[in-house]
């Protein structure tokens, strides 16, 4: 199975010109790497500026979608259908920065269903805020998964990707990355939770990515030792030289 290497550019870069440059450099690396599909999630406003042509190695995604289904008076929002009519093929949903901005479980569940109905692939982010020694945080993970996927028909699981991103490992204020061994433990836990709904074989087919302080030095260990289905990368995706090495780590 192709490794999914997702670039979450967040609210970067500053200009369309910089976005095009970063896109082109990332594209060069992506097209050379047969073992990966690279998914760039730029600010939605830049999607139309990239001259993107869909290929099996390189796709675009949005970083979020609106909780509202239809067009209407929702200032600043972008619907799943609108994202899908642009070149986006994927939608990140439930990112910890969106959860911190107020996306509760019910909202995330609605967004997952709207994205799937609009034929987008969903990259659902889950992850605990902090980790207690007794494994109590696994309950938090369990709840995030079951509530986000409540009512999602089984045949949609083939359009689902889970990104396990412990919140303490994400972004500038992170205390560092998880370990590949711990990630593997959590990947198996996630697939076990999914298997209760869709059965073991379908759950195993859902790619589980690792995200949180991935860089060009640790990427390979998460993909190999950690058996990650791919990586979700924030800061390091903005450095073309570093992100190229992360893409090549999927070899
Ligand atoms: C993220 O934004 O999902 C992320 C993992 O960020 P970073 O790689 O910067 O920790």
pLDDT (0 to 100) of residue 138: 95
pTM of the model: 0.97
Where in the chain are the domains?
3-248
Residue 50 C-alpha to ligand 1 middle, in angstroms? Answer: 22
Whether 60 lines ligand 1, by a CB cut-off of 6 Å, is no
pLDDT (0 to 100) of residue 212: 97
Q: pLDDT (tens digit, 9 = 90+) per residue, 171-191?
A: 988 989 999 999 999 999 999
Confirm if 231 and 222 have CB atoms less than 8 A apart: yes
Q: State the fold for domain 3-248.
A: TIM Barrel (3.20.20)
Residues near 228 by beta carbon (within 8 Å), at least 6 away in sequence: 3, 180, 183, 187, 208, 209, 210, 222
Testing ligand 1's pocket by substitution, the residue of 168, 210, 213 carrying the most ligand atoms inside 8 A of its CB is 213
> Could you give the angle at the alpha carbon of 234 between the alpha carbons of 38 and 227, nearest 5°?
60
pLDDT (0 to 100) of residue 224: 97
Q: Is 119 left (phi over 0), alpha (psi -120 to 50) or beta?
A: left
pLDDT (0 to 100) of residue 151: 97
Atom 2 of ligand 1, residue of closest alpha carbon = 234
Atom 1 of ligand 1, residue of closest alpha carbon = 234
pLDDT (0 to 100) of residue 251: 82
Residue 234 C-alpha to ligand 1 middle, in angstroms? Answer: 4
Among residues 247, 181, 188, the alpha carbon closest in space to that of 214 is found at 247
Please list the residues that pair with 58 across neighbouring strands.
38
pLDDT (0 to 100) of residue 111: 98
pLDDT (0 to 100) of residue 197: 95
pLDDT (0 to 100) of residue 144: 97
Residue 192 C-alpha to ligand 1 middle, in angstroms? Answer: 25
Q: Please compute the mean of the pLDDT values over residues 53-74 and round it to a whole number.
A: 95
Atom 7 of ligand 1, residue of closest alpha carbon = 234
Query: Does residue 108 surpass a pLDDT of 90?
Result: yes
pLDDT (0 to 100) of residue 21: 98
Q: Percentage of the chain with pLDDT > 90?
A: 94
Measure the CA–CA gap between 202 and 175, rounded to whole angstroms. Answer: 34
Q: Which two tokens stand for residue 82?
A: 């609108």
pLDDT (0 to 100) of residue 9: 98
pLDDT (0 to 100) of residue 234: 98
* Residues involved in catalysis: 95, 165
Work out the pLDDT band at 133, boundaries 50, 70, 90: confident
Query: Does residue 169 surpass a pLDDT of 90?
Result: yes
Work out the pLDDT band at 132, boundaries 50, 70, 90: confident
Query: Does residue 219 surpass a pLDDT of 90?
Result: yes
Measure the CA–CA gap between 228 and 250, rounded to whole angstroms. Answer: 10
Work out the pLDDT band at 238, boundaries 50, 70, 90: very high
Residue 237 C-alpha to ligand 1 middle, in angstroms? Answer: 9
Residues near 215 by beta carbon (within 8 Å), at least 6 away in sequence: 177, 235, 236, 242, 246
Query: Does residue 128 surpass a pLDDT of 90?
Result: yes
Give DSSP secondary structure letters for 94-154. S-HHHHHTT--HHHHHHHHHHHHHTT-EEEEEE--SS--TTSTHHHHHHHHHHHHTTT--G
Work out the pLDDT band at 86, boundaries 50, 70, 90: very high
Query: Does residue 214 surpass a pLDDT of 90?
Result: yes
Please list the residues that pair with 211 across neighbouring strands.
232
Query: Does residue 54 surpass a pLDDT of 90?
Result: no
């Amino acid at each position: 199975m192709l490794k999914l290497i997702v670039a979450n550019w967040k609210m970067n870069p500053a200009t369309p010109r910089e976005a095009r440059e970063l896109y082109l450099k990332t594209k060069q690396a992506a097209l050379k790497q047969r073992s990966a599909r690279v998914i760039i999630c730029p600010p939605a406003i830049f999607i139309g500026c990239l001259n993107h042509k869909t290929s099996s190695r390189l796709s675009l995604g949005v970083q979020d979608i609106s909780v509202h289904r239809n067009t209407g008076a929702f200032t600043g929002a972008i619907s799943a259908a609108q994202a899908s009519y642009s070149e986006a093929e994927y939608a990140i949903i439930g990112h910890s920065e969106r959860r911190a901005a107020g996306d509760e479980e019910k909202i995330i569940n609605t967004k997952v269903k709207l994205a799937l109905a609009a034929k987008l692939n969903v990259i659902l982010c889950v992850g605990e805020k902090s980790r207690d020694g007794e494994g109590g945080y696994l309950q938090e993970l369990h709840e995030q998964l079951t509530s986000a996927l409540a009512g999602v028909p089984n045949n949609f699981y083939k359009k689902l990707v889970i990104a396990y991103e412990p919140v303490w490992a994400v972004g500038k204020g992170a205390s560092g990355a998880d370990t590949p061994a711990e990630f593997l433990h959590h990947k198996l836990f996630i697939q076990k939770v999914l298997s209760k709904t869709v059965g073991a074989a379908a759950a195993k087919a859902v790619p589980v990515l690792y995200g949180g302080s991935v860089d060009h030095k640790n990427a390979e260990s998460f993909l190999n030792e950690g058996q990650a289905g791919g990586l979700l990368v924030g800061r390091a995706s903005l450095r073309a030289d570093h992100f190229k090495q992360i893409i090549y780590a999927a070899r």
